[in-house]
Structure 1
Amino acid sequence: MVLLGRLKPGTALESRRVVHVFPLLPDAQALAVLTPLCGERLPVEDMQWLPGMTGMPCEPCLMRNGRAATQAPPCGFGTPPPPRRDPTVSAYQRRLLGGTAPSAGPDLTW
């Protein structure tokens, strides 16, 4: 089980008030400083505890939260990205070519 929390308003710049993921430890109530999954040490009295995920998440915390990563739906890793369109070819030229355009540099000669 994990807790979600961020620094209280007024204790840090707004850009530092990201939502951290804290592992729930048996001795957490006795600690004055908690360490989220990202490794930052945060004072308990400066924390705003959240009932759910709201606000900007701490990306390192999310990356280190293995439980959430294993329960997340597939996100498309390993599949090739869709083909990129050549910005120098207009929509009209794509229609004339049947939806495809030659991949060429900026010196297109047709």
Structure 2
Amino acid sequence: MSDGMLLARPLPGVVGLRQRVSHVFRLPDTTVPPERVTALCGASFAPAQLQRVDNPTGMPCELCLARTPRQTGPLVADQRRARGSDGLA
């Protein structure tokens, strides 16, 4: 994930199994823990209801993925192509 973002999913029992997907959250800009955090899709949870996911695990929330900010700079492969190397050799 990019800086300021994290993946988390609801703990077992918080939502039904079908709704237990990995959401993308922006990290709050405060040192005080918030009462609730809201995923990019709009789903809201108390922090104690979430399990942090260090690597993509299980089914992702498709709306969170669609709303995740895209990389703004050139891709590494594009930079290599510009220098005349595709990085495959």
Pair in the same fold by TM > 0.5: yes
After the TM superposition, list the runs of 4 or more consecutive aligned residues in structure 1 that deviate by more than 4 angstroms.
68-72
Which residues of structure 1 form unaligned runs of 5+?
73-110
Following superposition, the deviation at residue 21 of structure 1 comes to 0.3
2:14 is the counterpart of 1:11: yes
Give the RMSD, CA atoms, in angstroms.
2.3
Tell me: CA distance 1:28–1:22, structure 2 relative to 1, closer, same or farther (3 Å). Answer: farther
Count, aligned residues: 72
Following superposition, the deviation at residue 39 of structure 1 comes to 1.1
- With CA pairs under 8 Å and 6+ residues apart, which has the higher RCO, 1 or 2? 2
Following superposition, the deviation at residue 29 of structure 1 comes to 4.7
What fraction of aligned residue pairs are identical, expressed as a percent?
36
Distance 1:69 1:56 in 2: 26
Give the letter aligned to residue 15 of structure 1.
Answer: R
Structure index of larger Rg: 1
1:36-64 Cα deviation digits (max 9, x unpaired): 11111111110011111011000000000
Tell me: CA distance 1:9–1:60, structure 2 relative to 1, closer, same or farther (3 Å). Answer: same
Which residues of structure 2 form unaligned runs of 5+?
76-89
Partner SS, residue 39 of structure 2: coil
Following superposition, the deviation at residue 68 of structure 1 comes to 5.7
Q: Provide TM-score, normalisation by structure 2.
A: 0.70
